[in-house]
Chains A and B, each alone.
Chain A
Amino acid sequence: MVQTPIKQPTAKLPPSTHQFADVIHRLEAGRSMLPDTPENLMQIIGIYKAYAVPMDFYWRDLLYIAERVFLEPLPFFKYFLPKEYLDLHNHYAGDDADLRIWRGEATAHPELLEFMQKGKTFKMPKLLHHLWHDRINMEFAEACMQAMLWHGRDMGWGKFDAYLDSDEYKANADRAIKAYFKYNPVMLGLYKIFPDMFLEQVRQLSYYSNLGLFWEVMAPVFFEMSDIYDEGGFKGVPDAMNFLVNGIFAVAGRPIYHHVYIRGECYEIIPKSKGFMWLYEAALPYVEAVFYRTAPFRGTKSYNAQAREVPNNQKDFHYGILYADVFPVGTAGIPPTLLMDDMYHFLPDYLKDYYRQHCRGEDDMLIQLGITFQRSMYNVTSAVIQALRQALLYPLDDPNPEHLMANRQFFEAQMDRFKRPEARLRDIQNQDYR
């Protein structure tokens, strides 16, 4: 059972005067931004499970695109995952795991395989499932990848994005591009004329790999959390958050790389030896780009840049899931509808029953699960905030008041980002927000 005791600082600080003082005090006590209620725990664990199954597809396909599809000019079948990648062993699940986080199988999750066969309609050829859009929405995963690429260096974490402009990277990419188009003079000719265009595509593919490697870790984490909950393991939201914090530190050093396989040969565009680490080059940029920032002009709500509805600086963007209106109409940022649709197929029964009791039951389950997802991501963000505090600052039970004050300033600075009216931090404090 995973249960972390709540830290009680020996030194006392005066109460915070921040508008989110309650949340800050909760973080200082080692808890989550999400209130600790059985209902919240049930919701977030249920949704982690529903998220992990499509995520098991996302990471496999992201790696497949980065490693195999690569620069295919007409990548019509990039979402048609070959058996090789369905059988690909997750490094954090199964008997041969590097670090076994989930006690389940290393290959694709059985529920995922079942869904890929039947979809929400019935068993039919893969192409028909694809054309009928009866499949996992990889478009969501690609939107997340693009958000990471677009915000890239501006996020202040790691050196991964800077490396994409290095001569070493360009040389590696050049080798891979030439090898890939070895028997295609037309594309080689185009590469000669527009080298930057091809290079930019490879940079994007490196982010495919980055995100794929990030989610390869997260899928077993969420599966394991679901199993622990089913076994009666978690006693509250802080336990779930602390499991994430522990998980983050356990895999923080996992290498982030980009390998391409061309005619049986491996081209290391970003070698493992570069030392890019999972926490700094994937996890933190992902949270920043996808949870906080993403981009406007998605969904049907359009923002008028001339009317200053869009911030001048990318770092001030606020269109991520922590701010998103999960309604399918009028939303912004990465369209949560696609993910909501994916998660809908894999909801555990207890969560379905819960949704049936509220609002419009079956009819608006997509919205309800979207808001649950928002709650769960506030919990993941809490874990990231606690992990950062743990990595950069002081323990919560530090006896030195100055250290505790430094922690508080850190928490207050994090909470400042939720002062915006669009932020849903206020909403998730209320159980009736559905």
Chain B
Amino acid sequence: MLSFLLWLPVLGASIIGFFPGKIESARLRQITTIFAVIILGWTIWLLTQFNLSNSGWQFSEYLPWAEPIGLSYSLAVDGLSLPLVALNGLLTMIAIYSIGENVERPRLYYSLILLINAGITGALVAQNLLLFVIFYELELIPFYLMIAIWGGEKRGYASIKFLLYTAVSGLLILAAFLGISFLNGATSFDYNIITTQRLSLNTQLILLTVLLIGFGIKIPLVPLHTWLPDAYTEASSAVAILLGGILAKLGTYGLIRFGLQLFPEAWSIVAPGLAVIGTVSVLYGALSAIAQKDIKRMVAYSSIGHMGYILVATAAGTQLSILGAVTQMIAHGLILALLFHLVGIVERKVGTRDLDVLNGLMNPIRGLPLTSALLIMAGMASAGIPGLVGFVAEFMIFQGSFSTFPIPTLLCIIASGLTAVYFVILLNRTCFGKLDNKLAYYPTVLRSESIPAFVLTGIILFLGIQPNWLLRWIEPTTDLLAVNSERSSVISYQLTNKSLTLLSGK
């Protein structure tokens, strides 16, 4: 079942890329949409078939592949990966409609979108460390091409920077995985075989640190974030949606899957440091966003801040905080996609993203009133206004993390107030004020451009009012993760105390 999800987009990409004859851009978009709809439909079907009382792996598939190097074609999902797979399917649909119908080199464009979908799905459903790394690295190529070909003015610089950073991220993760395997003497990289319990705490700490840097680049965390503002800003809005909405989530997914789950003891030791890094990311992202003049860059920096919440919550490692962290991954993916989609519309219609130029887009006749209204909605969701999915996630993160890390949590709460500040700046300058008659000859926003925003807004509202429809898939898995983490924390605490007692000679 998961193989279908993985190979259908590859098949779609091949058909679109290599089908003989000339096909119009609009027709290619229709074909891509058909594949995306089937993928999303299949994912929804998987969600309905998912056993909510089972916290373990489901829909497992296994095929031996290159056994001498420990690589197998092993797939499965749990409550951590399946919601992200669904998010991937949804955002692929949104991305298809986030760019005008007449995109240049449409065959390559739509093929790459489907390949990105396949790469991310592969990384999320992989049950083998090497298989994960293969997909993790593979999706860099389509992303690089999409930024380099359809990006903005500085696309060359941004795409190379993105490629270098994320390639280093992949290498570090590969190094950590090889270290885990070799030091364990394992013959396979399958998740169910790999364990770190036989490794010394110091070795675990070294390997975890390498992993943290690798995934920290991907998320990204401060100070490994410098590729993000350039990549998000220079990428087209469709690519920015996929970058921020789902690719960055591979970083936080990796943190939980391979950091928290694979190194529970070492994790409990580095957790306070991670909480500090997460808090710094949150504050840095918010303050930097306030200083921006480019609305896309502002949204990009806001993303750094919101990803910081996930790190703080994961570091706290409580049931509620981990649940909040995974919920935030989904919430942030939805909200960021909505923001980038709307910013893309503004840029296409008005021709600028400059806060000093934009004004009065709320004008009911010559402005972009619907886009502006949805932008206000997205800003509210990002700022964590109750009734929207962003609030649910942030509330769980704050409540779940406060008992473990009270000061970082309080600082994060303050930073969530700063989120409101920069969104008020954005909305006030962009949507309100007087639309200048001399400039206001913007094209109408087409219905096909508005529909993705309506879909995302509907989901954000629905999950904000009825969050159980999201949490029920996640909760069993995160509960199990939290129990394992707490057990390891106790062992780690006992070991540390024992060592101290021995050292003190008592």
- Name A's B-contacting residues (CB within 8 A): 301, 325-330, 359-360, 363-364, 366-367, 427, 433-434
Contact = CB atoms under 8 A, between A and B. Distances in A.
Nearest to A330: B434
A328 B365 contact: yes
B437 interface: yes
A353 B490 CA distance: 78
Contacts of A330: 360, 363, 433-435
B434 A301 contact: yes
B147 to A, nearest CB: 33
Q: Which 4 A-B pairs have the closest CB atoms?
A: A330-B434, A364-B365, A360-B444, A329-B363
Contacts of A326: 437
Contacts of B444: 360, 363
26 contacts: A301-B434, A325-B437, A326-B437, A327-B366, A327-B434, A327-B435, A327-B437, A328-B363, A328-B364, A329-B360, A329-B362, A330-B360, A330-B434, A330-B435, A359-B366, A360-B365, A360-B366, A360-B443, A360-B444, A363-B365, A363-B444, A364-B365, A364-B366, A427-B437, A427-B438, A434-B441
Nearest to B369: A329
Contacts of B437: 325-327, 427, 433
B440 interface: yes
A329 B434 contact: yes
A327 B440 contact: yes
A433 B444 CA distance: 18
Nearest to B437: A325
Contacts, number: 42
A360 B442 CA distance: 8
B365 to A, nearest CB: 5
Contacts of A366: 365
B441 A327 contact: no
A325 B366 CA distance: 13
Interface string B418-440: 00000000000000011101101
A370 to B, nearest CB: 10
B273 to A, nearest CB: 51
Contacts of A434: 441
Contacts of B366: 327, 359-360, 364, 367
A301 B437 CA distance: 14
Could you say which interface size class chain B belongs to? 10 to 19
A360 B445 CA distance: 10
Nearest to B443: A360
Contacts of B363: 327-330
Mostly, the B contact residues are: loop
Contacts of A329: 360, 362-364, 434-435
A367 B441 contact: no
A434 B362 CA distance: 19
A427 B436 CA distance: 13
Interface string B354-371: 000000101111100000
B431 to A, nearest CB: 11
B41 to A, nearest CB: 35
Contacts of B365: 327-328, 360, 363-364, 366-367
A233 B21 CA distance: 58
A121 to B, nearest CB: 20
Interface string B185-211: 000000000000000000000000000
Q: A363, A364, A433 — which one has the most chain B CB atoms within 10 A of its CB?
A: A364
A330 B434 CA distance: 6
Contacts of A360: 365-366, 443-444
A301 B360 CA distance: 12
Contacts of A328: 363-365
B363 to A, nearest CB: 5
B261 to A, nearest CB: 54
A327 B367 CA distance: 10
Interface in B427-465: 433-435, 437-438, 440-441, 443-444
Q: B365, B443, B444 — which one has the most chain A CB atoms within 10 A of its CB?
A: B365
A364 B443 CA distance: 11
A366 B444 CA distance: 15
Contacts of B440: 327
Nearest to B432: A329
Q: A325, A326, A359 — which one has the most chain B CB atoms within 10 A of its CB?
A: A359
B434 A359 contact: no
Nearest to A299: B434
Contacts of B433: 330
A340 to B, nearest CB: 10
B419 to A, nearest CB: 28
A359 B439 CA distance: 12
A359 B441 contact: yes
Nearest to A358: B441
Contacts of A433: 437
B110 to A, nearest CB: 30
A326 B362 CA distance: 16
A48 to B, nearest CB: 23
Nearest to A366: B365
A65 B434 CA distance: 36
A429 B444 CA distance: 26
Nearest to A365: B365
Contacts of A327: 363, 365-366, 434-435, 437, 440
A337 to B, nearest CB: 10
B204 to A, nearest CB: 61
Contacts of B435: 327, 329-330
A434 B365 CA distance: 13
A367 B364 CA distance: 11
A427 to B, nearest CB: 8
Nearest to A432: B441
A356 B363 CA distance: 20
A367 B367 CA distance: 12
A388 B91 CA distance: 67
Q: B364, B366, B438 — which one has the most chain A CB atoms within 10 A of its CB?
A: B366
B395 to A, nearest CB: 36
A325 B437 CA distance: 7
Interface in B10-41: none
B42 to A, nearest CB: 39
A335 to B, nearest CB: 14
Interface string B393-437: 000000000000000000000000000000000000000011101
